[in-house]
Amino acid sequence: MDISIIVPLYNEEESLPELAAWIKRVMDEHNFTYEVVMVDDGSSDTSWSVVERLHAENPNIRGIRFRRNYGKSAALNTGFEACEGDVVITMDADLQDSPDEIPELYRMIKEDGYDLVSGWKKKRYDSKIAKNIPSKFFNWTTRKMSGIQLHDFNCGLKAYRKEVVKSIEVYSEMHRYIPLIAKWAGFNKIGEKVVQHQKRKYGVTKFGLNRFVNGYLDLLTISFTTRFGKKPMHAFGVWGTIAFLIGFICTIALIVTKLVHQSHGVPFRQVTDQPLFFLALLAMVLGFMMFLAGFLGEMIARNDPERNKYQISQKI
């Protein structure tokens, strides 16, 4: 099969028939073999009934329904597990992503050799204050922290080689950082394509400003887990040792200073009367706790059944 199109959806009953017809027209024009996996993320409207009707009309359309709303990451991860196409396309169900972009995205994966191609909605029709400005700041920060030079990490329109989606796991709100997850899984050829952003035709946006706060927390989480998930002592142990040594050296310096002043008959303050002593004591306690956290992390990682599971690209 050439293409799998994964469409996470939540209360999009009005847009689904038009989206399905649009996808079918593009696929037929280019003679692609394809499947559309629509993942209903616990919709409270008639979206699932629409998916069932679309499946009856076109067997290439498949549906997966959650009992409740789990979020976009869960929907994408479930779609990744279910898909079978050589190239996997993800797109939103609200008609703001154009299926006309699919043939070029497919070509970039198959002919240009990209592992992942992310869409870039260079010209957007969203509210400038509510979405555009926060989105630009979010993407700038993510570029700086991840080292991946993409302009629009949060664009739902992306293309992947099948090996990529079968090698990664998306959870929580990590769908924004799939390029980073793929990079840490060893898929380094990541490209970008300017795509057309459609004005929302039906319904209202499902995302609020709180997604940016959650987004940064997720970025910190994924940065830490991908770098230190299998070696937590490298993170906690180093900083814990540094903090402990700083506190210990400060304490010794205070004691030595007191002894020198005492031997020369110079007035001095008691060590325990000085604020620096308590700061040094705090640094030693924090250092010990961080070192202990690293040790416990190593013990947990040691008992992880997947501790020696690594991404393998080829075997002969």
- Residue 138 within a domain: yes
The SS3 call for residue 235 is helix
pLDDT at residue 280, rounded to an integer: 93
Are residue 90 and residue 172 in the same domain, yes or no? yes
Same-domain check for residues 159 and 205: yes
φ, ψ for residue 175, nearest 5 deg: -60, -25
The answer to whether residues 135 and 212 belong to one domain is yes
Q: Residue 142: which CATH number?
A: 3.90.550.10
In this structure, is residue 310 part of a structural domain?
A: no
Residues in contact with 314: Cβ distance below 8 Å, sequence separation at least 6, in sequence order: none
Indicate if 243 and 200 belong to the same structural domain: no
pLDDT averaged per 10 residues in sequence order, the chain, 316 residues: 96 95 97 97 94 96 94 93 96 93 97 95 65 72 82 91 93 84 90 85 62 64 64 79 92 89 80 87 92 80 58 51
Answer yes or no: is 255 within a domain: yes
Residue 308 to residue 62: CA distance in whole angstroms: 35
Residues 274, 212 within the same domain: no
3-state secondary structure of 280: helix
> Does a structural domain hold residue 189?
yes
Beta bridge partners of 88: 4, 160
Tell me, yes or no, whether 100 and 192 share the same domain. Answer: yes
63 with 174, same domain: the answer is: yes
Q: Are residues 215 and 237 in the same domain?
A: no
Let me know if residue 62 belongs to a domain: yes
Same domain? For 172 and 122 the reply is yes
Domain end call among 195, 228, 261: 228
Same domain, 190 and 268: no
27 and 98 both lie in a single domain: yes
Question: Tokens 């629409």 identify what position?
Answer: 50
The terminus-to-terminus CA distance of the chain in angstroms comes to 25
The dihedral of CA 209, 210, 213, 214: what is its sign? Answer: negative
Q: How many domains does one find in the chain?
A: 2
Q: Treating both helix axes as pointing N-terminal to C-terminal, what angle do 233-263 and 275-302 enclose, rounded to 10 degrees? A: 150
Q: Please check whether residue 60 lies inside any domain of the structure.
A: yes
At which of 199, 228, 257 does a domain end? 228
pTM of the model: 0.73
Same-domain pairing of 142 and 277: no
In this structure, what are the phi and psi dihedrals at residue 86, rounded to the nearest 5 degrees? -65, -35
- Give me the pLDDT at residue 115, please: 96
Q: 132: which DSSP letter?
A: I
Does residue 27 lie in a domain region? Answer: yes
User: Which pLDDT value is given to residue 57?
Assistant: 96
Structure tokens that stand for 55 in this block: 């499946």
Per the domain annotation, does 315 fall within a domain? no
Q: Which of 167, 202, 228 is the last residue of a domain?
A: 228
Q: Specify the pLDDT at position 180.
A: 87
Domain that residue 237 falls in: 233-302
Say what the pLDDT of residue 301 is. Answer: 65
